[in-house]
Structure 1
Amino acid sequence: MKKPLRVSVGQASQAGVKRINQDFIGRNLPQEPLLSSKGIVLAMADGISSSKVSQIASQAAVAGFIEDYYCTSDSWSVKTSAQKVLSAINAWLYAQSQNSPNRYDKDKGYICTFSALILKSNTAHLFHSGDTRIFRLVDDNLEVLTRDHRRVVSADVSYLTRALGVEPILELDYQKQILETGDTYVLATDGIYEFLTDRQIVKIIQTAGSQQEAADTLITEALKAGSDDNLSIQIVRIEHVPDYQLDEVQQFTSLPLPPTLAARKEFDGFQIIRELYISSRSHVFLAKDSATEQTLVIKTPSTELASDSKYLERFMLEEWIAKRVDHVNVAKAIDTGRKRNYLYLATEYIEGQSLAQWMLDNPKPSLNEVRSIVEQIAKGLQAFHRQEMIHQDIRPQNILIDADNTVKIIDFGSIFIAGVTDSQNEEAVRGTMRYSAPEYFLGQQGSPRSDIFALAVITYQMLSGRFPYSIEIAQAKSTAAQRRLNYRSVIDETSELPAWIDDALQKALQIDPLKRYAELSEFVYDLHHPNKSFLQRTKPPLIQRSPVMFWQGISFILLLLLLWQQTS
């Protein structure tokens, strides 16, 4: 059994010589599955002394952040989850100040500095706004990882340039670092770091019997050194770094592979009806649940890859994805509620045909038929993108159309998940060559715009029976080579498509992802309406649209010039 992330933590906070402690600290060291899916959180906030309510801001910021972060989607990246939560907290604090009697005096509002450290899997994520600090202890050196957002006017006058609650839009510093066993991170307010030297802090941490003893000693020593502010300190030492991310998936991969399956065979509460298809990576069968009589699909891993742990984790990740993306245009996972005895996937059975077959049966579809299919695929993809997932293998074979003409996206084996998938271990090229976005051939990570490219290729193919680029696109593995690729218009001498459809396709199929549509909804909209920029580019000159108005304008200009010459 692989060991999870393990840390030792110490923390302390005191008012010091002041009457009220406007600092607030918090931590959460959850058990599985949250430990793997969301990680460990340490957070610290420091109120401003000029405000009588900033201690409320500090407590609300830390407590709210820790509680709400663990409520965000498992598929979101740590960065997205934390930033969304902090933006909401910042907006609430700002609103509280605006609704208070001191709305015009920021120094008396609901304002606090904020720093958070999130440890997930083998990565440390740092979030920071203000002048609380995050340090890393490296050998005998205390390295400052954050930048103080404070402007010093004189020895006695300084003010924060950034903090929670100051502005309606939060500016937040973010960075991430790879964890190693033995790393030590320190979060501290100025009541500590302004009164103790780096050498003193390092010595106390290294000689203390525990992290908690070190935290308590640092508070005591800072007070002895004359600290006149609130004092807060958090220390976390990394005791073990795991080499996996999802405990839920890891548990399933320890199950034995299914026996050889065939029609009429009883298997784990199912009856196999028939084989659907066999590939080098998986075996797929139509089956019936013996308890509910529900028809479904059973997918088992390839026996040739049984010893490949990465493959098995990726295989079971498909079910993890299907459970979290609930949309009418996405195939869903089936949960029988029974104990699973083997490693396999159970998904809904979609009675219909693949888009690849539909295209063979409908070589010249109407524009409205194409729009309907594309719009449904786009809605399914949007469900993935909202969860920070990129499908990466959108192609006609992975799209099914059922008897009610409902389009469903299937096969989640190539999906990238921001909060789960390790991008460093991702394959350079995902999906099928003719549908893969050009950036994959450069070894770059995909984005939602990569899925837009694939969808646009499918749209182009349905409308013309051709592909927008030659087969050479798969061989163009440098920026220079890709620049030489030429888009082929979807409109030819036999086409009756309006020119603005080709304009929308050309934008969605740009080689440079930054020149494509940013959102699927924009592409779908432009398949129904001429884009404004297209209309501006193709608008005929005024002399053609309104010759009378053109010559009237010329005559008026000439009259003004004549009058100017007479008066000069």
Structure 2
Amino acid sequence: MKTESLPQTLDSTNDRLLFTATLQLVVGQASDKGRKSQNEDAIGIRIPAGVSLISKGAVSVISDGVSTAEGGARASAISVSNFLADYYSTPETWSVQTSSTKVLTALNRWLYGLGQDYRDARRGFVCTFSALVFKSCSVHMLHVGDSRIYRFRDGELLQLSHDHSTSINSSSQYLTRALGMDVKLDVDYKTLSVDVGDLYLLTTDGVHDLLTEFEIHKKLTTFSQQHQQLTDDTCEHFCQTLIRTAFDLGSKDNLSAQLLYVSQLPKQAIDEVYHSLSQRPFPPPLSVGMKLDGYQVTHIIHQSQRSQVYRVVNQQDQVFCMKTPSVNYIDDAAYIERFMLESWTGQRISSAHVVKVVEQHKTKSALYYLTEFLSGTSLAEWLTQHKKAPVEEVLLLLKQIELGIRAFHRRETLHQDLKPDNIFITRDGVVKIIDFGSCYIKGIAEISSPLTRDTILGTADYTAPEVVLGYQADGRADLFSLAVIAFEMLAGQLPFKGKLEKCRNRQDFLRLDYVSVHQLNPMVPEWIDIALKKALNVEPNLRQADTCELVHQLTTASHRRHAKYFVPLINRNPVRFWQVISIGLFLCLVVCLFN
């Protein structure tokens, strides 16, 4: 199999994420039926070129159809071919773990369903599954069954996988976990760093049941010493030799092996990254009447130290918004990368409640991107005109905002800068989230870069505590921001008396005092106040699970008596509590004395 080198651009029509990356693998594989009548093993390696290699990585898969399963051979073939196809069909914004887990879950259910035609599901479509996904400077391992994954580094052999099997006696074993065995799938997943020179070996039990770890180590040591310059042919020859050795030792099973050598990793100097990122020039500040690539500026919508936004029209009189980077950051590689990520992210978020990035079909002469033009007002302007707006109106807007946020989260992307200025209400009453400048994309975060990226990009008044404190954030960070916006819309002021902005450490956040939104606006039902208080908790795990749950609680009337009416007596009136306890103990003593 030929190794494909990685181009230096992650291209989306005309918007390129110029990640300088040169991940290169040398690979080989071999499989043989051995002494069996048919080969129930399946193997596959895919090293894509261009965009997919950067965003999704290279994949190696090995599977062994369970001999006692009537559909074992088909199961292994299906698992390898479908995983290699479906994994690359998942969104580029998804992490390796999310993409692979969803694909494997679907595969397992399909195989399990096929196996229901048999009296015993364990004898249906069952196979082992082991895979390595090489992405950037990491390797992601997925494993279920008794196939094995080894790593050979600096003369040391390490078995990365764990056999999911149990011995019945000295000569018999049975699988405890496999693909298609149960409707629920438990896959071992781990992420490891990769070094140049690493060798990764994947084998089925027909090989490693006959070859001890010592023998495999010896063969890899000899192989690495004899071949200073590895090629695909030498790796394939090693796999053939390995399975032939196992066959000669008396293996009665199918034999398969894959060998992957890491020859180069994407680790460049910062000047190389900057050179790649600066290939497209910054446009100069534009004024009304000026043209750029056929787009004429009609209005200057926004100008700041970081960017400019213009209303532009093309030759067909179509109206768009054009965003350009500020020349103040022309030497800032991290800023350029983030600006390029904005349009890339926007093209991958599809929702009626997220502003659409316009895909251009011609080459750009400068660094900018276009979005649909929106007529209406920002939520910030709306708030100045609607102090303590009717609850029903606020809830209608919040539902739409949540739908937009959910579109980000489906793509494993956090907006991280939800605030009234970044939410737009069109003249038709449609709410749209705008601006992608602070987004955290899980799939992109896995790509290594020498750049020092900003971690806190949002506005302090609306940013979740865990983000400010530098902890790992998830969708509950955007949930917190949504709750702040909801509170402001209902109360006419920010929660915690506007003190969020001044919090710098954990103690500052713990000292915050929640003031009831019902107290500030008596028209707000108490169930809404309870939901907002929960969503604004400093601890993420004490908030709602996601934004959908928050909106459900905000919009669903609760007729039960609320928790605040059931505050324990010891908290409401400690003196009365101990008086009651004392009287109770006294009465018990009197009863005991008279008995």
If the length of structure 1 is used for normalisation, what is the TM-score? 0.89
**Counterpart in the other structure of 2:317:** 293
The alignment status of 1:82 with 2:106, answered yes or no, reads no
Report the CA distance between 1:526 and its aligned residue: 1.4
Please, which of 387, 390, 406 is the counterpart of residue 411 of structure 2? 387
Report the CA distance between 1:483 and its aligned residue: 3.0
Secondary structure class of the residue paired with 1:273: strand
**Counterpart in the other structure of 1:254:** 279
* AA matched with 1:149: H
The alignment status of 1:155 with 2:180, answered yes or no, reads no
Report the CA distance between 1:113 and its aligned residue: 0.7
| Matches of 1:432 and 1:211, distance apart in 2 | 53
**Counterpart in the other structure of 2:204:** 189
Which runs of no fewer than 5 residues in structure 1 stay unpaired? 542-568
**Counterpart in the other structure of 1:561:** none
Report the CA distance between 1:390 and its aligned residue: 0.6
Report the CA distance between 1:156 and its aligned residue: 2.1
| Matches of 1:379 and 1:536, distance apart in 2 | 29
**Counterpart in the other structure of 2:54:** 36
| Matches of 2:249 and 2:546, distance apart in 1 | 56
Matches within 5 A, 1:29-108: 29-100=47-118, 103-104=119-120, 106=122, 108=123
Contact preservation (8 Å) 1:423, 1:445: no
Matches within 5 A, 1:479-498: 479-492=506-519, 495-498=522-525
* AA matched with 1:37: S
Contact preservation (8 Å) 2:153, 2:197: no
Q: Which segment drifts farther, 306-315 or 414-423? A: 414-423
* AA matched with 2:416: Q
Secondary structure class of the residue paired with 2:361: coil
* AA matched with 1:138: R
Report the CA distance between 1:215 and its aligned residue: 1.3
* AA matched with 1:254: Q
**Counterpart in the other structure of 1:462:** 489
**Counterpart in the other structure of 2:220:** 202
**Counterpart in the other structure of 1:548:** none
Q: 1:263 to 1:90 in 2, by over 3 A?
A: same
Report the CA distance between 1:474 and its aligned residue: 4.5
Report the CA distance between 1:220 and its aligned residue: 1.8
**Counterpart in the other structure of 1:118:** 133
Secondary structure class of the residue paired with 2:90: coil
Report the CA distance between 1:463 and its aligned residue: 0.9
| Matches of 2:560 and 2:172, distance apart in 1 | 52
**Counterpart in the other structure of 1:263:** 288
**Counterpart in the other structure of 1:544:** none
**Counterpart in the other structure of 1:552:** none
Higher RCO, 1 or 2 (CA under 8 Å, sep at least 6)? 2
Identity %: 38
Q: Which segment drifts farther, 160-169 or 1-10? A: 1-10
Please, which of 3, 26, 41 is the counterpart of residue 44 of structure 2? 26
Secondary structure class of the residue paired with 1:146: coil
Matches within 5 A, 1:275-286: 275-286=300-311
Aligned CA RMSD, in angstroms, stands at 2.3
Which runs of no fewer than 5 residues in structure 2 stay unpaired? 1-7, 9-19, 269-273, 569-595
Matches within 5 A, 1:83-482: 83-100=101-118, 103-104=119-120, 106=122, 108-196=123-211, 197-206=215-224, 207-208=226-227, 210-243=234-267, 254-290=279-315, 292-422=316-446, 426-482=453-509
* AA matched with 2:367: L
Contact preservation (8 Å) 1:430, 1:440: no
Contact preservation (8 Å) 2:135, 2:447: no
Report the CA distance between 1:452 and its aligned residue: 0.7
Report the CA distance between 1:482 and its aligned residue: 3.2
Contact preservation (8 Å) 1:141, 1:202: no
| Matches of 1:470 and 1:28, distance apart in 2 | 56
Report the CA distance between 1:110 and its aligned residue: 1.0
Contact preservation (8 Å) 1:135, 1:185: yes
Q: Which segment drifts farther, 484-493 or 185-194? A: 484-493
If the length of structure 2 is used for normalisation, what is the TM-score? 0.85
**Counterpart in the other structure of 1:562:** none
Secondary structure class of the residue paired with 2:444: coil
Number of positions where the alignment pairs a residue of Structure 1 with one of Structure 2: 533
Secondary structure class of the residue paired with 2:359: coil
Describe the superposition over 1:414-447 as per-residue Cα deviations: whole angstroms up to 9, x where unpaired: 1011111359855332311010001112211221
Report the CA distance between 1:23 and its aligned residue: 0.9
Describe the superposition over 1:140-180 as per-residue Cα deviations: whole angstroms up to 9, x where unpaired: 11111111111123212321111101110110110111222
